[in-house]
Structure 1
Amino acid sequence: MTSLDPALVVLDKDGVRLTVEDAVATVTLTNPAKRNVQSPALWRALTEAGRALPGSVRVVVLRGEGRSFSAGLDRQAFTPEGFDGEPSFLDMARGSDEDLDALIAEYQEAFTWWRRNDIVSIAAVQGHAIGAGFQLALACDLRVVAEDVQFAMRETSLGLVPDLTGTHPLVAAVGYARALEICATGRFVHAEEAERVGLANLVVPGGELDAAVRDLAAALLAAPRDAVVETKTLLRGAAGRTYEEQRAAERAAQTRRLRDLAGLSD
């Protein structure tokens, strides 16, 4: 595929569209009329999108159509009936611990693949990113946000907890105390604060969001793929290693790079 080729549509279902153009894949939430609210069907489509990524993809962009990135879980989830063909919250509560754990783990899969070491993921976030929407933005490696962005973690105010993998990256980004305050109060975090505390890598006017993400993707693609993969692997593992363990990991990674560059790798 050349740069003149149109983007290839790989998947388009349940409010999720995956397109691929050269080394960049774009995952788009496609229900702007409902502010890209989320459901189990959407989560399964997101999981499928991750599995469908061609091996040539190096950067994945996540975006939402319309004025909001994602306003969180569809309110239908909170009705007694829930979603058609899906267990309601009441059904889930009545299940065994094992069944409930397995079901939540299935939902979480939609949020886990964005940090794979072989890709760099960028969330392009405008308007509302609430609850599950906030957690989906947090699932990505990087976040470029519009000036009108409104992050909020509302699960606690509903008597729930954030369970779609958002707590770990939130604490990593802003620290325990601020993460607790954001979650427990459910307040909005706007663009200026998001950039200041590390939730956003870049803040731009809404009309410049797509262009800023394209520029960032191009910058990420400028470095050799294997060097980026090794660097991301090092950085992702750093928090779980001691200083000396990280030094050793750096040496091992650099050894692999030097041998690869010299044509001596296995």
Structure 2
Amino acid sequence: PERRNALGRARWLELQEIVQRARQDPQVRALLLTGSGERAFVSGADVGELVDRPPEVALEGLVQRLLLEIEDLPFPTVAALNGDAFGGGWELALACDFRVAAAHVRVGFPEVSLGIIPGAGGTQRLLQHVGLGRAKELILTGRPVPAPEALELGLVNRVVDGPAVLEAARELIQNVLANSARAVHLAKLVLNATARRDSGWDLERLAYTLSFHSDERRQRMRRFLDRTSRQRDRGNTGEARPG
């Protein structure tokens, strides 16, 4: 919680193992993801890891592949947004079938302020949800979107008071589980296949990799880390997002 649930490579690999075990376990009927604490669902990637990341590591597309695995799970998946979801955290939420957000939550893609772009499916899924014009606005400005606006845009399915997030997420899951598991799986297959554009996903991974060939990117990330370190030293508990 003290790092606002930022995810480094090790955490993504842990999540990948959980997802693969869940897929193989016939007793698992749904996946519900939420953050630890109350301030953040996932604040994004661990910027400290990204500063000196070689472009060839970015090209691997580890997180993009993992989120596709989550999207393709045969059972319902729900992100219960107990706190803010930025960058990779918002990409993770968008890979789920449903998103339930606490009223105070903000979501968004601040990557451009760090000299990179959303690289784990964020450009593709946001485009599917809100269309080209609004997707450009949200990605190119990097502005945070409050939960009520996210609901209007169709980016989240429910907005509730903070303490009710998990209950609302479980209720949504139960509504799906009341139906045929096989039919739900088949419907997801068709919907995901229709929405997905393979060329766009490849271009996203390439552009994300190219963004790592930049001294400006390193400088922006180091400034962000310096700023958040000063905030931590002062005991500032305000937002710790890039920008």
2:5 paired with 1:36: yes
2:44 paired with 1:75: no
Q: Do 2:67 and 2:95's aligned partners in 1 also have CA atoms closer than 8 Å? A: yes
Query: Deviations for 1:228-264, whole angstroms, at most 9, x for unmatched residues?
Result: 11222222233469xxxxxxxxxxxxxxxxxxxxxxx
Structure 2 CA distance for aligned equivalents of residues 147 and 184 of structure 1: 25
From 17, 21, 31, the counterpart of 1:60: 31
Q: Do 2:82 and 2:162's aligned partners in 1 also have CA atoms closer than 8 Å? A: yes
Structure 2 CA distance for aligned equivalents of residues 199 and 168 of structure 1: 13
Q: What is the deviation of 1:130?
A: 0.9
Name which one, 1 or 2, has greater alpha-carbon Rg.
1
What's the RMSD between the two structures over aligned residues?
Answer: 1.8
From 181, 185, 190, the counterpart of 2:146: 190
* Count of residues in Structure 1 that have an aligned counterpart in Structure 2: 194
The corresponding residue for 2:102 is 146
- 1:117 and 1:136, CA in 2 relative to 1: closer, same or farther beyond 3 A? closer
Q: Do 1:114 and 1:141's aligned partners in 2 also have CA atoms closer than 8 Å? A: no
From 90, 95, 109, the counterpart of 1:134: 90
Structure 2 CA distance for aligned equivalents of residues 184 and 125 of structure 1: 23
For the residue of structure 2 that corresponds to 1:137, the secondary structure is: helix
Aligned pairs (5 A) from 1:77-226: 77-79=49-51, 88-89=52-53, 92-93=54-55, 95=56, 100-102=58-60, 105-226=61-182
For the residue of structure 2 that corresponds to 1:145, the secondary structure is: strand
Question: Structure 1: which 5+ residue stretches go unaligned?
Answer: 1-31, 80-87, 242-266
Structure 1 CA distance for aligned equivalents of residues 44 and 83 of structure 2: 12
- 1:200 and 1:45, CA in 2 relative to 1: closer, same or farther beyond 3 A? same
The corresponding residue for 1:233 is 189
- 1:240 and 1:145, CA in 2 relative to 1: closer, same or farther beyond 3 A? closer
Q: Do 1:115 and 1:141's aligned partners in 2 also have CA atoms closer than 8 Å? A: yes
Question: Structure 2: which 5+ residue stretches go unaligned?
Answer: 198-243
Structure 2 CA distance for aligned equivalents of residues 147 and 109 of structure 1: 30
| Bigger share in strand | 1
TM-score computed with the length of structure 2 as normaliser: 0.75
Structure 2 CA distance for aligned equivalents of residues 137 and 112 of structure 1: 12
Query: Deviations for 1:181-222, whole angstroms, at most 9, x for unmatched residues?
Result: 101101010111101111001110001111111111111110
Query: Deviations for 1:11-53, whole angstroms, at most 9, x for unmatched residues?
Result: xxxxxxxxxxxxxxxxxxxxx1211001001111111111111
The corresponding residue for 1:47 is 16
Name which of structure 1's ranges 51-60 and 183-192 shifts more when overlaid on structure 2: 51-60
Query: Deviations for 1:106-151, whole angstroms, at most 9, x for unmatched residues?
Result: 2323322111151211000122111111111111111011101111
Aligned residues with identical type, % of pairs: 36
4+ long deviations beyond 6 Å: none
Query: Deviations for 1:157-183, whole angstroms, at most 9, x for unmatched residues?
Result: 111010012221111111111111101
Q: Do 1:152 and 1:186's aligned partners in 2 also have CA atoms closer than 8 Å? A: yes
Q: What is the deviation of 1:100?
A: 4.8
